[in-house]
């Protein structure tokens, strides 16, 4: 039996479901029951009937699944698969901002540890950050931890005063505008589709800015046949499925997230066989961090308020 077949069999036996982010490798995406962006995976995790969720992504994604479904077992194929940006906030910074602005809302990008989420009022993902911030009653917003997404949201919602932090995603921050321009010279008709975690110089070149799902949907529905993609290279698998006729080009220094690439079929098989690498979130963090995530789901569906 192949590794893929063993995974599918064990998954059925253990009532498990495999969720994967678009940045994991193609073989892992092919093994998954659901593949999506962070927001889609959070929504799913809150409502799936299965006993066990295997989260193919970095640790904050699995943690999010556990926070939203505390009674389920969440298995991580690799416990070292981490997102450096998810740690780039200090409690002192959040406390100082709260002291300075009495009406402050602390908005936390889902790319953050459970501890950081527990300091915040509401979570957002790249696909709903603008909408959620726009609808908050607060004038002053501390947006943590990503400076690039924070600046992008500030530009889209100029009526708010947004405090910009100094965290960043190394993969998107290091992408060079020169390399995107070089692709543009080679493919002048191509549309540039960028993730808002990119630096300002790259975003200035973009025809479209959005989450990984947003980028995929844009290409899927566009009459154009060439696209320069400014996000992690794992999205190529879905892009080629949706648009086998189109050309997709990346910066020459290929943007690759090391944490995401730690997820392998062998890792999935191992956790399904052994039940090892189950995620636990400390009890005192689980409640406040879970609340900020649930508030995101409610606000994104237009039901909740801060």
The residues that touch ligand SF4, with contacts defined as CB under 6 A, are 23, 58, 83-85, 111, 169-172, 197, 232, 257, 259-260
Here's the x/- map for ligand 13P, 111-130, by CB under 6 A: it reads as x-------------xxx---
Q: How far apart are CA 206 and CA 194, in angstroms?
A: 6
Decide whether 88 or 94 has the Cβ nearer to ligand SF4. 88
Residue 37 engages ligand 13P in binding (rule: CB under 6 A): yes
Of 58 and 108, which CB lies nearer to ligand SF4 in the complex structure? 58
| Least separation in angstroms between CB 229 and ligand SF4 | 13
**Candidate list 69, 112, 183, 212; residue touching ligand 13P; CB under 6 A:** 212
Closer to ligand 13P by CB, 64 or 290: give it.
64
Q: Which of ligand SF4, ligand 13P, none does residue 24 bind (CB under 5 to 8 Å by kind)?
A: none
Give the one entry of ligand SF4, ligand 13P, none that residue 113 binds, where binding means its C-beta sits below a cut-off of 5 to 8 angstroms depending on kind.
none
197 is an interface residue for ligand 13P by CB under 6 A: yes
Q: Which residues are 170's β-sheet partners? A: none
126 binding partner (options ligand SF4, ligand 13P, none; Cβ < 5 to 8 Å by kind)? ligand 13P
What residue 125 binds from ligand SF4, ligand 13P, none (CB within 5 to 8 A, per partner kind)? ligand 13P
Give the contacts of 98 (CB within 8 A, at least 6 positions apart).
104, 106, 142
For ligand SF4, the closer of residues 70 and 84 by Cβ is: 84
Residue 45 as a binder of ligand 13P (CB under 6 A): the answer is no
Helix/strand/coil (H, E, C) string of the chain? CCHHHHHHHHHHHCCEEEEEECCCCHHHHHHCCEEECHHHHHHHHHHCCCCEEEEECCHHHHHHHHHHCCCCEEECCCCCCCCHHHHCCCHHHHHHHHHHCCCCEEEEECCCCHHHHHCCCEEECCCCHHHHHHHCCCCEEEEECEHHHHHHHHHHCCCCEEECCCECCHHHHCCCHHHHHHHHHHCCCCEEEECCCCCHHHHCCCCEECCHHHHHHHHHHCCCCEEEEECCHHHHHHHHHHCCCCEEECCCCCCCCHHHHCCCHHHHHHHHHHCCCECCCCHHHHHHHHHHHHHHHHHHCCCCCC
Q: Smallest distance, Å, CB 119 to ligand 13P?
A: 20
> From the CB of 185, what's the least distance to ligand 13P, in Å?
26
Shortest Å distance, C-beta 63 to ligand SF4: 13
Closest approach, Cβ 286 to ligand SF4, in A, equals 22
Least distance to ligand SF4, CB of residue 126, Å: 9
Max alpha carbon distance in the chain (Å)? Answer: 61
Q: Which of ligand 13P, ligand SF4, none does 211 bind, CB closer than 5 to 8 A by kind?
A: ligand 13P
Which of 45, 106, 142, 169 binds ligand 13P (CB under 6 A)? It is 169
């Amino acid at each position: 039996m192949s590794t893929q077949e063993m995974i599918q069999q064990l998954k059925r036996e253990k009532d498990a479901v495999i969720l994967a982010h678009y940045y994991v490798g193609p073989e892992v995406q092919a093994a998954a029951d659901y593949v999506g962006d962070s927001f889609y995976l959070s929504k799913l995790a809150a409502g799936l009937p299965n006993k066990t969720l295997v989260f193919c992504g970095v640790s904050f994604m699995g943690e999010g699944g556990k926070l939203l479904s505390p009674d389920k077992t969440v298995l991580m194929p690799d416990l070292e698969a981490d997102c450096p940006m998810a740690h780039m906030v200090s409690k002192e910074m959040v406390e100082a901002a709260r002291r300075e602005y009495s009406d402050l809302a602390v908005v936390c990008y889902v790319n953050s540890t459970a501890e950081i989420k527990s300091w915040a009022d509401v979570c957002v993902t790249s696909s709903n950050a603008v909408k959620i911030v726009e609808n908050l009653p607060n004038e002053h917003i501390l947006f943590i931890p990503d400076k690039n997404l924070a600046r992008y949201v500030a530009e889209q919602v100029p009526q708010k005063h947004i405090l910009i932090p100094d965290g960043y995603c190394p993969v998107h921050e290091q992408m060079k505008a020169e390399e995107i321009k070089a692709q543009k010279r080679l493919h002048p008709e191509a549309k540039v589709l960028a993730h808002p975690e990119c630096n300002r110089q790259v975003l200035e070149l973009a025809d479209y800015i959005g989450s990984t799902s947003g980028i995929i949907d844009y290409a899927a529905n566009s009459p154009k046949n060439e696209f320069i993609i400014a996000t992690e290279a794992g999205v190529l698998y879905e892009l080629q499925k949706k648009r086998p006729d189109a050309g997709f080009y990346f910066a020459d220094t290929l943007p690759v997230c090391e944490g995401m690439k730690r997820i392998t079929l062998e890792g999935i098989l191992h956790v399904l066989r052994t039940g090892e690498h189950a995620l636990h979130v400390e009890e005192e963090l689980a409640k406040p961090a879970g609340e900020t995530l649930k508030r995101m789901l409610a606000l994104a569906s237009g039901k909740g308020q801060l």
